[in-house]
Amino acid sequence: MQAARLREIGGPSKLRIEDVPEPEAAEGQTVVRVRAAALNHRDAFITQGLYPNIVLPRILGSDCSGEAGGRDIVVDPTIGWGADERVWSPDATILGMPADGTFAQFVAVPNQNIHAKPDHLSVEEAAALPLGGVTAYRAAFVCGGLQAGETVLITGVGGGVQTFALLYAKAIGAHAVVTSARDGKLERAKALGADVAINYATTPDWHKAVRAAVGAVDLAIDSAGGDSFAKALTVVKPGGRVVTYGGTTGDATIKMFPIFWNQLSIFGTSMGSPGDFAAMLDFVSKHRIKPAIDRVYELAEIESAMQRMDDALQFGKIVLRIPQ
């Protein structure tokens, strides 16, 4: 089969399309024919050596839609979450590292990780859903407790997870404030229903602009860390919630007084449990949510696709079409 495999660290240019043996299903596994796969930032991080426990050579990729047992399916990329829905097991892993992933014509996955594709989604849209969709679902609802009529701040809109968070918020009737450094992304976010859009590059005191526009928010969802996280804390109302699932700009320097004085709740999250994944699929189907697709590339174009993501040019998910 054809697969995009990484043999050495050095960035996306080190990915190679190779002919490799098709995987064989171990006990409790099924081999899925992959029809489309989606990129995540972890894929780029792995190529750059910025990810723990890297084993090479390896086929990358966490997200996919495809066929198994004669039905259209999507795959939950988190393997071995464990018995506690609140936190994943130290032994849990994600497809694409250390196990071979979805940038290939076939991938072997645990039987319990296979789910029916939502009927309203194309194969490309379904491939865009798994990791970003479940991360956003857990951040917005399981940890963040977002309710209809509340206001959520979504920093750095444009990436897959934050775009899902916006779609989810609007689906339940919440108000959404988004930030980005690119006006084009803000315009696309407004087209998806964002109520307020602020460019943090041209408005350094964007947190003050948020307060001027909507007052304090009920929930803030952030993945950047650093200054973004610190400022997000200042716009959450007393008793409000803050959820973080990343730290792409580094550690945050924060003031403690507003946190305890305003009795804020801060939640850390990553990926989602099997229960979260099933609930996310039900939610997406019920509300007929369609992922925002940035571009669809052929598998052979993976280096260009990965570079676009690494340059933060995308709005929504970047998808690979897998040759059949």
The domain segmentation of the chain, as residue ranges, is: 2-129+291-321, 134-268
What confidence score (pLDDT) does residue 248 get? 87
pLDDT digits (tens, 9 = 90+) for 48-71: 999 999 999 999 999 999 999 999
Task: Give me the CATH topology for the region 2-129+291-321.
Answer: Quinone Oxidoreductase; Chain A, domain 1 (3.90.180)
Q: Tens digits of per-residue pLDDT, 258-316?
A: 899 999 999 999 999 999 999 999 999 999 999 999 999 999 999 999 999 989 899 99
Q: What is the CATH number of domain 134-268?
A: 3.40.50.720
pLDDT tens for each residue of 127-147: 999 999 999 999 999 999 999
Secondary structure of the chain as H, E, C letters: CEEEEECCCCCHHHEEEEECCCCCCCCCEEEEEEEEEECCHHHHHHHCCCCCCCCCCEECCCEEEEEECCEEEEECCEECCCCCCCCCCCCCEECCECCCCCCECEEEEEHHHEEECCCCCCHHHHHCCHHHHHHHHHHHHHHCCCCCCCEEEECCECEHHHHHHHHHHHHCCCEEEEEECCHHHHHHHHHCCCCEEEECCCCCCHHHHHHHHHCCEEEEEECCCHHHHHHHHCCEEEEEEEEECCCCCCCCCCCCHHHHHCCCEEEECCCCCHHHHHHHHHHHHHCCCCCCEEEEEEHHHHHHHHHHHHCCCCCCEEEEECCC
Q: What's the confidence (pLDDT) of residue 280?
A: 98
The model's confidence at residue 188, banded by pLDDT at 50, 70 and 90, is very high
245-267 pLDDT, tens digit each: 999 889 999 999 989 999 999 99
Query: Rounded to two decimals, what is the model's pTM?
Result: 0.97
pLDDT at 239: 98
The chain-wide mean pLDDT, for the chain, equals 97
What is the per-residue pLDDT for 257?
A: 92
* Percent share of the chain, pLDDT over 90: 97
